[in-house]
Amino acid sequence: MYHNWLDRWDERRARRGEEEKTTTDFVLDPARAFSEAKEVATIEEFCRLADQAVADPAFFDEPSGSDQGFQKQDGWLRFPSGMSTDVDENNVVWAKITESGSFDQVLVVFHHWNATSRNRQIAQFFSRRGITVVEIAMPYHFERRRPGSSHADYMLSANLGRTIQSVRQAVWDGRKLLLWLRSEGYREISILGMSLGSWVAGLIAAHDPAVSKASLFLTAGSLADMVWTGRATRAIRDSLEPAIGLTDLRRAWAPLNMENHVHRLARPDLDLHVVLAKRDKVVLPELSQSFVQRLRDAGARPNILYLNCGHYSLARPPYILLAGLSLKRFLSAIAKSAR
């Protein structure tokens, strides 16, 4: 009875989020995704560039790697993004810092798609326990929101190239922040990603050795499959389906598929923590299970917590409390690199 009510609550929450989303045009837009794109006019040509990006170990490395331009004031950090887009607000990265008074550990948080506020409770909970919390704005979120937009439609959409550009920009921004945190003297860097933010956090953990611990909430491997099957992305699927099938979408967004980076996530000095919802209709459990199995096959041993709730009801008691306590234990454990 209770879980039937919980499912209905998740569905009502999903419907509210659906109100602002509409179908849009399918667009390849390869120049946003790949610097070498020239006369790309077909899905097959786009997919070939995506294949090359998967094979390129530097695809998620910011070319300049600059640590300049950081401004810290009154608990806020502001710095220029390493990628320039056609939305001026999106080209400046904002992060909220909740200090702990210690440089032993810092937790960088990447929120879910269309988040409207940062999580003060998480920040205060961990800062009181000696972990500084830095909540970064992903592209087109919070202070980086596109003027006139009802949600972060440029972060994830039926524009194939812009979606890759946005996730890649989020990874570059996150890695630039990690570089600054290292320069400030933080000794252990952990990251937390929620839903879409877990793809960003996972890609950063896969490509940046500065990360010693990564916690991924409500995650999976294939972003294409999540969009195609998920409750929150029906409008995007409706926009995609007349022009592209799931097989081609998987290939087009292959650089964003964490299953293609599991060998990096399985590196011996990285600890992984995964929180999954058994009743999730946004990131389907079978997609999450496929990703977990790929991690294990690559040699990773993730710490996994399964909760009998939905995607949105994870934020409700008792599930959020169980997830928070599990995350606390994970962050408190001695990192592999220190053993």
In this prediction, residue 67 has a pLDDT band, given cuts at 50, 70 and 90, of low
| Token reading at 232 | 């929150």
For residue 57, the model assigns a pLDDT of 93
CA 41/CA 222 separation, integer angstroms: 24
Which region among 46-60, 61-75, 311-325 has the lowest average model confidence (pLDDT)? Answer: 61-75
Average pLDDT, rounded, for the chain: 94
Is 80 exceeded by the pLDDT of residue 52?
yes
Percent of the chain with pLDDT over 90: 86
In this prediction, residue 10 has a pLDDT band, given cuts at 50, 70 and 90, of confident
221 against 63, higher pLDDT: 221
Is there a contact between 293 and 220 (Cβ–Cβ < 8 Å)? no
For residue 110, the model assigns a pLDDT of 98
CA 211/CA 189 separation, integer angstroms: 5
Q: Each residue of 242-286: pLDDT tens digit?
A: 999 999 999 999 999 999 999 999 999 999 999 999 999 999 999
Is there a contact between 262 and 294 (Cβ–Cβ < 8 Å)? yes
Q: Each residue of 279-333: pLDDT tens digit?
A: 999 999 999 999 999 999 999 999 999 999 999 999 999 999 999 999 999 999 8
pTM to 2 decimal places: 0.96
For residue 338, the model assigns a pLDDT of 53
Q: Which residue has the tokens 């009875």?
A: 1
CA 217/CA 220 separation, integer angstroms: 9
In this prediction, residue 337 has a pLDDT band, given cuts at 50, 70 and 90, of low
Stretch 162-171: mean pLDDT: 98
CA 8/CA 1 separation, integer angstroms: 11
For residue 127, the model assigns a pLDDT of 97
Is 90 exceeded by the pLDDT of residue 196?
yes
Q: Rounded to 5 degrees, what angle do the CA atoms 8, 196, 303 make?
A: 90
In this prediction, residue 339 has a pLDDT band, given cuts at 50, 70 and 90, of very low
Is 90 exceeded by the pLDDT of residue 23?
no
| Token reading at 312 | 């949105």
Name, in order, each residue with C-beta under 8 angstroms of 2's C-beta and a sequence gap of 6 or more. Answer: none
Which region among 48-62, 66-80, 88-102 has the lowest average model confidence (pLDDT)? Answer: 66-80
CA 180/CA 241 separation, integer angstroms: 42
Angle between helices 196-207 and 160-184 (to 10 degrees): 60
Q: Each residue of 120-142: pLDDT tens digit?
A: 999 999 999 999 999 999 999 99
Is there a contact between 195 and 314 (Cβ–Cβ < 8 Å)? no
Q: Each residue of 278-292: pLDDT tens digit?
A: 999 999 999 999 999
Q: Which domains does the chain have, with CATH numbers?
A: 2-58+71-338 (3.40.50.1820)
